[in-house]
Amino acid sequence: MKSRNIVVVKLAFFVLLLFLVSLSTHARYNLPDFTELVEENAGAVVNISTSKQTQVKRRLPPGMEMPDIPEEGPFGDLLRKFFGEHGGNGDEHFTSRSLGSGFIISNDGYVITNHHVVKGADEIIIKLSDRREFIAELVGSDPRSDIALLKLDAKNLPTVKIGNSDKVKLGQWVLAIGSPFGFDASVTAGIVSAKGRSLPSENYVPFIQTDVAINPGNSGGPLFDLDGNVIGINSQIYTRSGGFMGLSFAIPMEVAMDVVDQLKTHGFVSRGWLGVYIQEVTRELAESFGMEKPTGALVAKILPGSPAEGTEIEVGDIILSFDGKEISNSASLPPLVGGTRVGEVVKLKVMRNGKTKTLKLKIGQLPDKNQLMAGAAPESEEKAEDTVLGLTLRALTEEELKTMELDNGGLLVLDVQTGSAKSAGIHQGDVIQIINGEYVESVDDFKKQVESLPAGKFVSLLVQRSHGPEFLAMRIPENE
C-alpha cells in the first residue's frame, strides 16, 4: 500500500512538472524576451536636450516707481528677484529648455529626431549612453513630417538597423527606447494597434498607432520590431491628462528616410501636390452618388494655379485610386500624393455621375503656404430672394463671385428654417454651388433641380464656407 502511494505521488509530481514546463513554454511563446534587442540597440539611442534664449521686456505699471533696493540682505535679493535686475524696466533674458530622444543612423554621426524637439533651439546637446556629450549641428528640419536631421562630429558610433514599416502587421510586438521625463534609456513595449492613421494636424504622415507607453521626452526615439529593426519614430500621443493613455503614434521609417535623404541632399523637402480640396464620403453622400458603400476622396474644390486646374478632374469627382493604390478614405490620399516625385505623371481612377474613368495628371510641388479659400463674401447690393426647401436664397453678385474666386455662380443662404436642408447641415452664410452634380447660378436653377429629383432620396450639394468647400447630403422631402 505504501509503495502504491509513493507511485501515485511520483506520478502526480511528474504531471505537475509537465504542466509547469508547458505553462512556461506557453508564456515564453506569447511574451517575447526583449533583453537581447535592448542590449544590441540601446547604445544607438540618444538623449537630446535643447536650450533657447527668450527676451522679455519688463515694464512697471504707469505711475508706479521702483523703490530703492538695498545692496545687501535678504530683502534686497527678494526685491531684485521680483522687480528684476533693471528696476522693473528693461529687457530680461530667460533660458527655456526641452528634452527629447533620437537615434543614430550612421556611424559618422547622423541622428534622427522630431522637428518639434529641436524647433527654435539655440543649442542642441546630444548625450550618448556611454555619457559622452556632443553639440549637434542641425542639418535640416521638416515641420510637415515632424522630422529633423542632426549631425555629430564623431566617428565609429553605434547605429540602429532601418526596417520596413510597410511589412508591419497589426497585433505584432514592438518596443520603444527613449528618455521620458528625462529618464535615459527607458524601455517600454506593446503592440501595433493600427496603421495609416491620419491625425488632424498631420496630413502627410500615415502614422503607426501603438499602445506602447510613450510620454514627454520619448519624442524622436525609435520604435523597434522584434528583429531589432527600427520601423518608426515615436512622435505623438493622444492624451487628456498629459500622460500616456494607450494611444501612441509613430512616423513610418519609409516616410522618415525619404525626408532624411532630401534633407541631406537639398536641405529642404519637396512634396507632390494635386491642388484639390477633398473630403470624406459619408454614407448619405455615397447614396446620393449611387455608390454601394462610402469610399474614396470627394473633390470639393480645385485650387487656382494648381496642377489640377485645367485638367480633366472635376469638382464632384470621387477619387477611388491613386496610381494603382486604392483610396479607402480621404485621409489616405494626401500621404500618397505627398510622397510622389514632382513632375511624375500619375493615373487617377475616379467616379463621376455613377461611372468610373481613368485620368492622367502631372504632379506639382506643394507650395510653402496654401490658402484653400478666400474669406467670406462681403456684404453687397441686394438681389432677388426666394425660399426653397426652407432655404432663403439669393444669387451672388459679380463682386462676391470675384472675392470668393467662384467661376460658376452660387446661391447665398440668407436663412435656414426647420426642414430637410437644416437637417443636412446647411447654415446661414453658406454658398450653394452644386446640387446633384449641376452648378446653380440662380434660384430658379435650384428650384428646377429640386423639382426633378425623386422624393425620399439623398442628393449631394456643394457648399462654400469660410474654411473651404464641403459636400453635404440632403434628403428630398416627400411633401415638397
The question of whether 427 is a catalytic residue gets the answer no
The question of whether 116 is a catalytic residue gets the answer yes
- Choose the catalytic residue: 145, 165, 193, 219: 219
| Domain endpoint, select from 122, 151, 180 | 151
> Is residue 290 domain-shared with residue 355, that is, in the same domain?
yes
> Is residue 460 domain-shared with residue 389, that is, in the same domain?
yes
Cα-based torsion angle of the residue sequence 61, 65, 69, 75 in order, rounded to the nearest 10 degrees:
-50
pLDDT on residue 429: 85
pLDDT on residue 380: 36
Domain of 418, in residue numbers: 385-475
CATH of the domain at 348: 2.30.42.10
pLDDT on residue 428: 85
The question of whether 219 is a catalytic residue gets the answer yes
CATH of the domain at 228: 2.40.10.10
Q: From 344, 323, 443, select the one nearest 392 (Cα to Cα).
A: 443
Whether residue 470 is contained in a domain is answered as yes
* Paired residues of 237 in beta bridges: 248
Can you list the alpha helix ranges (DSSP code H) found in 275-386? 283-288, 333-338
- Choose the catalytic residue: 49, 98, 145, 146: 146
Instruction: Please tell me the total count of domains within the chain.
Output: 4
> Is residue 48 domain-shared with residue 113, that is, in the same domain?
yes
User: Which pTM was predicted?
Assistant: 0.69
Provide the 8-state DSSP code for 307: T
Whether residue 373 is contained in a domain is answered as no
Whether residue 375 is contained in a domain is answered as no
> Is residue 179 domain-shared with residue 261, that is, in the same domain?
yes
Residue carrying C-alpha cell 464620403:
281
Which residues of the chain are modeled with pLDDT < 50? 25-27, 69, 370-383, 480
* Paired residues of 95 in beta bridges: 53
CA distance to 387, 388, 420, 459, 478, per residue, from 475 (Å)? 17, 14, 6, 6, 9
pLDDT on residue 480: 45
- Choose the catalytic residue: 116, 328, 442, 445: 116
| Domain endpoint, select from 246, 265, 284 | 265
Q: From 464, 435, 432, 472, select the one nearest 450 (Cα to Cα).
A: 435
Whether residue 426 is contained in a domain is answered as yes
Whether residue 305 is contained in a domain is answered as yes
* pLDDT one-digit tens code per residue, 403-439: 787 877 889 888 888 888 888 889 888 899 999 888 8
CA distance to 63, 328, 422, 453, per residue, from 316 (Å)? 63, 17, 22, 18
Take residue 448 and report the three cell numbers written for it.
Answer: 428646377
> Is residue 97 domain-shared with residue 139, that is, in the same domain?
yes
pLDDT on residue 96: 59
> Is residue 261 domain-shared with residue 301, that is, in the same domain?
no
Whether residue 144 is contained in a domain is answered as yes
Asked whether the beta carbons of 257 and 229 are under 8 A apart, the reply is no
